[in-house]
Amino acid sequence: MLAPGDVIRLEGDAVVMLDQTRLPGERVDRRCATTAELCTAIRELAIRGAPAIGIAAAMGMAQAARRSAAPTTQGLRDELAAARDELAASRPTAINLGWALARCDDAIERAAAAAGPAAPGAVRAALEQLALRIHEDEVARCRAMGRHGADLLPAGARVLTHCNAGGLATGGYGSALGVVRAAFDDDPRIHVWVDETRPLLQGARLTAWELGEDGISHTLIADVAAGQLFARGLVDAVVFGADRIARNGDAANKIGSYTLSVLAAAHGVPCYVVAPSSTIDHAIASGDEIPIEERAGDEVARFGGRATAPPGTAVANPAFDVTPAANITAIVTEAGVHRAPFAQSLPAAAS
C-alpha cells in the first residue's frame, strides 16, 4: 500500500507528488517548485481526488511561505494572498480545496496576531504544521471511514466502484477504497468491479493499479458494462467517493457516478458514498449549487494521442455529476454511517 509520503509531501521548498498522469506505466515523482507549477499539476490531474487536492493546496501555501523572502508579516501575507487566489482557481468542484485554503487563512491570521509585524517566520511555521496536520488527519479519516464502511458489506461482497477514491486520491489509504481495504482485511474474498471511468480512465489506470498492488481481487469493466452486471445480479454494493456533498446529502462525484446510482436503485442494490467531513459543504442546501467542472473537449474526442471524432465535433465534457440524496443508501464519514434525512444526520464540516 502507498505510504502517505509517497502520494504527496513537502520537500525543501517544493511540493513533490507521485505523478498520477504517468501511472500505471511509470512510477515517477513530479516536483512543483512554484505555485504556478503546483496549479498546473492539479489541473492536469497529476494530483487529484478531493482530499488530495485539499492537501496539495495546504502544502502549496506552506511552500509559498517557505519560498518567500518577505521580511515583514504583512509582506508575507500579501504574497500568500496571491498564492491562495491562484490555488483556489485551480479546480472548481472539490470543496476540499476551499476548505483547506480557509484553514490556511485562519492559521495565517492567528499566527500573525500572536507573533506581530516583524515575525513572518511564525506564519511560515504555522502553515507548514497545518499542511502536515491536514495530511495526517485525512489519512486518519480514511481509516475510520474504512472501518465504518466495511461493516456495511456482506462477506465476500462484490463491490462496484467508480473513478479512484483510493490512497492516491486522499493522501493515503482511501475513502471508497479504504472501505474495500478494511473489508479485505476482514475477509479477503471481496471482489471489486472497477469502472474504467471515461474519459480519463482513473479507474483503469489508478484503481486497478492500487488494488493490484494490494493483491485485492478485481475486474476492470467498460463503464457501459455496469448495467449488464446489475441485471445478472453480480453487484452487491456500489461504493464511490465524493468531491462535494451538499447539506441535503446530494453528492458530486466523477461523471458516471449518478448513472451507477440510478442502476443501483433500479436493481435494489445499496449505493454508498464514502467521504470525509472535509468534503461536506454546509454552505449549500442542495447539489444544484455545486459547480461542475467542464474540461477540454479533446479529453473525449481524442484517445491515446489520436482523434476519435471528426475534427470540429462539438463535445460536452462535464467532469462530475450529482447523485441525488434519494439514490444514496448511506453516506459514510469518519464519524459513522449517516442515513436520510441527511440534513439532520451529516456531521459538521471537519475543523
Name the site residues for ligand MRU (rule: CB under 6 A).
45, 48-51, 94, 163, 165, 169-170, 175, 202, 240-243, 253-254, 319
Beta bridge partners of 14: 11
In whole angstroms, what is the distance from residue 124 CA to residue 319 CA? Answer: 35
- Of the pair 165, 269, the CB lying nearest ligand MRU is at 165
Is residue 249 within 8 Å of 340, Cβ to Cβ?
yes
CB of 295 to ligand MRU, least distance (A): 8
Which amino acid, one-letter code, is at 109?
Answer: E
Q: Got the DSSP string for 81-109?
A: HHHHHHHHTS-SS-HHHHHHHHHHHHHHH
Considering 243, 250, 281, 321, which one is annotated as catalytic?
243
Whose Cβ is closer to ligand MRU: residue 111's or residue 252's?
Answer: 252
DSSP H or E run through 37: helix 35-43
Name the residue nearer to ligand MRU (CB basis): 84 or 254.
254
Alpha-carbon span 258 to 240, nearest angstrom:
10
Query: Min. distance of Cβ 260 from ligand MRU in angstroms?
Result: 12
Can 243 be counted among the known catalytic residues? yes
Pick between residue 318 and residue 341 the one whose CB is nearest to ligand MRU: 318
CA 158 to chain centroid, in Å, comes to: 23
Q: What is the nearest approach in angstroms of ligand MRU to the Cβ of residue 62?
A: 21
Give DSSP secondary structure letters for 143-205.
HHHHHHHHTTSPTT-EEEE-S--BHHHHTSSBSHHHHHHHHHHH-TT-EEEEE--TTTTHIII
C-alpha cell at 205: 489506470
In angstroms, what is the minimal distance from the CB of 232 to ligand MRU? Answer: 25
Between strands 29-32 and 14-18, the pairing is antiparallel
Please give the single-letter amino acid code of residue 283: A
Least separation in angstroms between CB 57 and ligand MRU: 13
Q: Which is nearer to ligand MRU, 119 or 144 (CB)?
A: 144
Q: How far apart are CA 34 and CA 14, in angstroms?
A: 7
Nearest residue (beta carbon) to ligand MRU:
241
- For ligand MRU, the closer of residues 80 and 142 by Cβ is 142
Nearest to 238 by CA among 275, 280, 194: 194
Query: Cα separation of 15 and 150, whole Å?
Result: 33
Minimum CB separation of residue 119 from ligand MRU in Å reads: 37
Q: Are 163 and 174 in contact (CB under 8 A)?
A: no
Nearer to ligand MRU, 13 or 214 (CB): 214
Compute the least distance from the CB of residue 163 to ligand MRU, in Å: 4
Gyration radius of the chain over CA positions: 20
Cα distance between residue 94 and residue 251, in whole Å? 11
- Active-site residues, by number, are 243
